[in-house]
Structure 1
Amino acid sequence: MVLLSAPRAVNLPDVIALPEPVRSRVVRQEGVASVAQLEEAGVPRRTVARRVASGRWQRLHRGVVVLQSGAVTWRQVAHAALVAAGDGAALSHSSAGYVHGLVREAGPVVVVSVPASRWVRPQPGLVVHRRSPMPHAAGRLRAVDVVETVLDLLGQAADDDAAVAVVTSAVRQGVTPSRLLRWAEERHALAHRALLRAVLGDPTLGIESPLEHRYVRDVERPHRLPRTIGQVRQRVDGGWIRADRVHEGIGVRIELDGRLAHPGGTTDRDVWRDNAVLIEHDDLTLRYRWRHVAGRPCAVARQVALALTRAGRPTEASRCPRCP
């Protein structure tokens, strides 16, 4: 069993003793090497087996070792997966998503893609996709391009919320919506294609989270409320803020908090900001969380309609199929 931990130094004397160019390759792989690479450097297989048996080195995959004892990092496990998968392999799907910052957890296995012309023997802890054509990949920890990774993750998203989370995370990481939409159209089969177009096709929507998407989809549109604009920047209390959804010209804004927990300090800051908005802009702030938007969208719509009416825009929430 391989234990993961914070970065730990490899056995430097073992690495330094390797001749070039193998030494530089092992350094780039953060102490990971294949048995073939070590043989190329003059280390016999029996020596590798002996050092693994003594605990000086560790075997991560068949024919792949890390030149250290103790716990290893996720990056070392990922390097080992790439070495085991061979030429042309690249991290993909959830593993590439972790490298690109699209997902928070790396997952229990390392996922790689290889050219369809190659076949990789199955191994525990390693998932291999064969692809044609093989997507562009780069980086010291070789990973499939971020846009291709977004499309891969969309294909595995369990529901709309998970799909929107991937898309909005990509936009926050700097992926332009136009590039993502263009690459999506080039894919023959793509799950959640219509959702992707809906979220990114209208630049004025400004949707940046699954909860915002749910608000527009389940509260605003089916109840025919006046349309909001997303992510509006305003100067308040000497600084800049961004409001999640704003009814421009009416004086009503919607703040959405998708976290399950809401620490007291954050609540205090939110209240202070809401007060500052009311004082400086005379805007009423309505604040909703997951349990409101996902569990009671019709009640939220009625409350928003009442707020708009009170602000001077007479509004009545239309009935939707879910309304009691």
Structure 2
Amino acid sequence: MRSVSIRLRAGLLATCTALTALAAVGPASADAQAAPQLNGDWSPFTRCPVDAPVMLAADGRIDIVQCIASHAASGSIKLGTTEVVTGASDLQLGVVQHATGAPTLVAPAGGALIADSADIPGGLLGLMCPSDIPVISDICRGITNATLNRVVATVESAGTPSDFNLTAGATSGQPIIAIPVRIHLQNPLLGSACYIGSAAHPVVLRPQNITAPTLGIQRFDGNGTANTAGVMNRLSLINASQTDTTFAVPGASGCGLGGMLDWAVNLKTGLPSAAGHNSVVLDNASTYLAGLRAPGTVVPNNGKLLSEYWHSAVR
């Protein structure tokens, strides 16, 4: 057993140089194309899934279709004992309001939530070191440069959001939506599959407004041009900081070869962490909801017209 441990430590240290070279190259660039720019009052809805079949099928009487976009310029997230200052986040969805029952939420192909990556304070040294456990202490001694130490965290979608409550979005103190996410931890020694949360066991955020947002209503033409007699309506809920302290966080998984570093990440960061010990804050959140002003007048073409108008606004 001792000889296996020695070989394992030696192997980990021997890979540091190769991993440094790989990290300099970096991961392959994403294949997804950049979201289009839209004209005028359509501008927040760059990823609305207007061409999803369930959106196109909305008739305007039984089913009414709309787009939702929510953007926060910055924020922070605390998981267990680790807190990270985050950058911008962007949540976009299609929503189908039914004559009866809860609305159907439709996520864009690339996921409902896109967020800027953020550096974990202290990097891998902060997550795992110091340690009196031989394998981990050897890794700590092998982290000799910033590339090997840096840990980047990215919040990613882990499923389609649910439980959308428009009234909660216009007031304060009530959950607005449930957003399943996972946090991707990226570092050469952690590998490419190190996550906190998963599609099967996500972190579920339920943000609520700390104070009520500023409410506004705009009318605009199908191509996004402002017009007080336009066929489109946009509801704006702006300048509302949001928070959630109710979510639980599972332990990390997939960190290191065969997940051998899961326990080290969990030990130092205090994961898994029960509800009440974690938090998320979104600063200056602005939320928009857009749809046809009188969908009942275009039956059965509500969804098709929304898609046509959206595409006419693409610059």
Which band: TM-score by shorter chain? under 0.3
> Relative to total residues, which structure has the larger strand share, 1 or 2?
2
TM-score (normalised: structure 1):
0.20
Give the structure with higher Rg (CA): 1
TM-score (normalised: structure 2):
0.20
> Relative to total residues, which structure has the larger helix share, 1 or 2?
1
Q: Which has the higher contact order (CA 8 A, sep 6+)?
A: 2
